[in-house]
Chain A
Amino acid sequence: MEVPSAVLRDLVAEATGQRAFRCYQCGNCSAGCPMAGKGDMLPHLVFRLLQLGDDSPVRSIQPWLCVGCQTCAVRCPQDLDLSLVMDALRAEAMRRGTVPDEAKRIAAFNKIFLEQILDGGRLSEVQLGAIYNLRTLAPFQNLTSVPALLRRGKIRIGGKAVRGPGAARRGGGKP
């Protein structure tokens, strides 16, 4: 279902406190972003599209490439934080089901990671890797590193489970 477009801009403003109209399209964010040119739109275009009431950012891969390095946020002359907007766009894309195909691996990785944390409270990187491989249908990816990691004592099996945060997130009340 397509939601009318000014809604996206307002939604983003509400969630992040970032007002799209402050952006005067200087491009500083795009000039410093390590992922500029690696996706389908330059970072500053996201703000422009929000200004125009265009919601193609939720269908773009660009928000998924954002690693939250904050380079944009510390250099923006208008004191905007585009990384927060990227966060909100990802959440919205998931909600609407508009995650583009090229971003599916990134989305999957993050999703599995988050599921693991909310389940056990602490991450098992090996478990993450295993499940990620399965879900992305690449079961043997990075497998060669497992023995190397094992030899260096970098794989932890077992370990404490902390379930309180997950419960709180699911709305189970006090842990």
Chain B
Amino acid sequence: MSRIGVFVCHCGENIGRTVDCARVAEAVRSLPGVRHSVDYKYMCSDPGQNMIRQAIQEQKLDGVVVAACSPAMHEPTFRRAAANEGLNPFRCEMVNAREHCSWVHENREEATEKAIDLVRMMIEKVKRNENLYPIQVPITRRALVVGGGIAGIQAALDLANAGISTVLVEKEPSIGGHMSQLSETFPTLDCSQCILTPRMVEVAQHPLITLHTYSEVEKVDGYIGNFKVTVRKRARYVDMSKCTGCGVCQQKCPSKKIPSTFDAGLGMRPAIYVPFPQAVPNKPVIDRDNCTYFKNGKCGVCKKLCGPQAIDFEQVDELVVEQVGAVILATGYSLYDIGVQQESLRGYPEYGGGKIADVIDGLQFERLASASGPTGGEIRRPSDGKIPETVVFLQCIGSRDSAKGIEYCSKICCMYTAKHALLYKHKVHHGKAVVFYMDVRATGKGYDEFVRRAVEEDEVLYVRGRVSRLYEDKGQIVVSGVDTLSMKPMEIRADMVVLATAIRPQPGANRLAQLFGVGYDKHAFYSEAHPKLRPVESAAAGVYLAGACQAPKDIPEAVAQASAAAAKVAVLFSRDVLEREPIVAKVMEAICAGCFACKEVCPYGAVEVQEIRDREGRMLRRVARVNAGVCNGCGTCQATCPSKSIELAGYTDEQIFAQIGALVP
């Protein structure tokens, strides 16, 4: 016979005002199996908890029902109290008499009846509760970081410095990401590469970091604490162990006119190349699609001239399997391309559609401004190399545009536009800089002051209004805008136009998310587990997020998020085994028919196929098996199974039917 204790909490006035708690306690006191039933003002308080503990001891209770607030608030509290008295915590359950009762009803009589019903139901359930123990999952103390931009670099360094062996995978030939393309960073105007490259070198030299560049994640198996990630290391056609990075091959390569992605199309590179001089690793790759040798078997100059004989045209992609316990996704961003129609985005033909040479985007401007860029840091027109006398900057191209672009704000463009205008004015003192804006969003530390500096000291003209369209005319660009503050249409003849185009995730971000089971929104930004309180975790256990892949953000935020994600991984790895709640599903293999409907519906991929073999190894049949390390206890499988052979511990069919039975007379 059960020995259940019932504790009805008034929760101050929250429950007590609407529900007659004393009556509830009274109504269930004489139910079969109930040994103790009381009400009290604040069950979660010390005296309240002591009441529970005392009752457990004195009455030898084997089950506890606390009718109070939501279990999301205090289930751990009451379970801890029970555990401290030696009662298995999963024999302690809560009835939500507040959010489910007193807070949503007004009629005291009816609310009290309902509370009594709820408690009665829970008593029947708890009678059938079993002792459950947390599940222990072993952890591989290695981490994987996908993406070698500033966020990925920061995360990898934090992890490695915490003694955690880390694999960093980057799809470009070098780490560094977009930050390596920038000239200066706001608001301090630090030289971007100067602050970045030391970190890049640290990554390369750190004994605990394994760097795979020119590589991508191909396949993901496993689950938190036990991932098996297959990484495809693309063939560089250069033997990394022999190459000394001397650079002769790049100097002598005859195919020199390939638009450089690093220079955002404004500069050229050879077919065998290192993206930029400070690349890490500083060893080249051969761009197969543009290499004369690969195209028609001729040339091979690099191979002839390579001292250490490091060129290897026969090289093939290599697949490497990394076993890790946690993953951080830090794949960064890309810019909206105004010429290309991409899915539902229309592009902006009214701004030239990408066809006007002197209408460029933010990253292209960064390359012009960079001392190591295609113009040696001089702001020059791509069309004729002349220095522009008037530069017009357009903000919000694609952002905040639900008609043709994207509805969200890209966050960083107000700041980088101010920076660009400021840099231009510093380099071309007599030049005119005009910024067409709708709002200025400068919310970070020192940010507003930075924009004011551009306006007040560098005399950048800020015009509040959008530009309807622009076109080329006699070597200049006619820009048709408006100033909504003075109510004047403004047509400006510019020598160069810089568009602040919207920030989007990298192409293929959704594919990567699918590999890891990470959710993403309609723009393919990765979804955090909770927008306010869990910004670096994803819905997939063991997979964390850092940087612009989650949402547009600037460098300090990306770095902060990266360190936060690394901390989460460190917390995960701080124990030898992972403890998870035992509310997981279990298959009764004897009656499982092997239809795998449960596998189809499981949102977490927690159901595996289990082969049952006889002693000779012959396969008898296949049944489902739940991986307790991945199961999140949603119960969908239980609702789906046609043969009732899968059940959630703590929520068995027997328990649920008992609850229903208690309700129906």
Contact A31 B480 (CB under 8 A): yes
Neighbouring B residues of A78 by C-beta, 8 Å: 402-403
A79 lies within 8 A of chain B by Cβ: yes
Residue-wise interface mask of A (21-36) relative to B, using a CB-CB cutoff of 8 A (1 in contact, 0 not): 0001111111110001
Contact B467 A31 (CB under 8 A): yes
Contact B484 A42 (CB under 8 A): yes
A9 lies within 8 A of chain B by Cβ: no
**A interface residues, tally (CB under 8 Å):** 21
Chain B contacts with A in 358-407, Cβ cutoff 8 A: 396, 400-405
B350 lies within 8 A of chain A by Cβ: yes
Q: Which of B403, B405, B484 contacts A44 (CB 8 A)?
A: B484
Contact B402 A77 (CB under 8 A): yes
What residue in chain B is nearest A24 (Cβ atoms)? B438
In the complex the two chains form, what is the Cα distance from A36 to B480 in whole Å? 11
- Given A42-B489, A71-B468, CB of A30 within 8 Å of CB of B484: yes
Neighbouring B residues of A25 by C-beta, 8 Å: 438, 484
Chain B contacts with A in 385-442, Cβ cutoff 8 A: 396, 400-405, 438
Residue-wise interface mask of B (453-470) relative to A, using a CB-CB cutoff of 8 A (1 in contact, 0 not): 000000000001111110
Chain A contacts with B in 62-117, Cβ cutoff 8 A: 71, 75-79
Contact A36 B489 (CB under 8 A): yes
Q: A78 to nearest B CB, angstroms?
A: 6
A147 lies within 8 A of chain B by Cβ: no
Contact A77 B401 (CB under 8 A): yes
Contact A31 B468 (CB under 8 A): yes
Contact B405 A32 (CB under 8 A): no
Chain A contacts with B in 1-52, Cβ cutoff 8 A: 24-32, 36-37, 41-42, 44-45
Contact A26 B466 (CB under 8 A): yes
In the complex the two chains form, what is the Cα distance from A76 to B468 in whole Å? 9
In the complex the two chains form, what is the Cα distance from A26 to B401 in whole Å? 11
B482 lies within 8 A of chain A by Cβ: yes
Neighbouring A residues of B464 by C-beta, 8 Å: 27
Contact A37 B468 (CB under 8 A): no
Q: B7 to nearest A CB, angstroms?
A: 51
In the complex the two chains form, what is the Cα distance from A41 to B465 in whole Å? 15
B295 lies within 8 A of chain A by Cβ: no
Contact B482 A27 (CB under 8 A): yes
Q: A132 to nearest B CB, angstroms?
A: 30
Contact A30 B489 (CB under 8 A): yes
Contact B482 A77 (CB under 8 A): no
B487 lies within 8 A of chain A by Cβ: yes
B481 lies within 8 A of chain A by Cβ: yes
Contact B465 A31 (CB under 8 A): yes
Contact A42 B438 (CB under 8 A): no
In the complex the two chains form, what is the Cα distance from A36 to B484 in whole Å? 12
- Given A77-B402, A77-B405, A79-B402, CB of A31 within 8 Å of CB of B466: yes
Q: Which of B400, B404, B469, B487 contacts A32 (CB 8 A)?
A: B469
Q: A84 to nearest B CB, angstroms?
A: 15
In the complex the two chains form, what is the Cα distance from A76 to B405 in whole Å? 11
Contact A42 B487 (CB under 8 A): yes
Residue-wise interface mask of B (508-536) relative to A, using a CB-CB cutoff of 8 A (1 in contact, 0 not): 00000000000000000000000000000
Neighbouring B residues of A32 by C-beta, 8 Å: 468-469, 480
- Given A36-B489, A37-B488, A42-B484, CB of A30 within 8 Å of CB of B403: no
Q: B483 to nearest A CB, angstroms?
A: 8
Best-buried of A25, A29, A75 by chain B (most CB within 10 Å): A75
Query: Chain A residues in contact with chain B, CB under 8 A?
Result: 24-32, 36-37, 41-42, 44-45, 71, 75-79
Q: A31-B490, A76-B403 are in contact. List 10 more A-B contacts (CB 8 A).
A: A25-B438, A27-B464, A27-B484, A28-B468, A30-B465, A31-B466, A42-B484, A42-B487, A75-B469, A79-B403
For this complex, 24 residue pairs linking A to B, each with C-beta atoms less than 8 Å apart, are A24-B438, A25-B484, A27-B465, A27-B481, A27-B483, A28-B466, A28-B468, A30-B465, A31-B465, A31-B468, A31-B480, A31-B481, A31-B489, A32-B468, A32-B480, A42-B484, A42-B487, A75-B350, A77-B396, A77-B400, A77-B405, A77-B466, A78-B403, A79-B402
- List of 6 A-B pairs having minimum Cβ-Cβ separation, nearest first: A32-B468, A27-B465, A31-B468, A77-B401, A28-B466, A31-B482
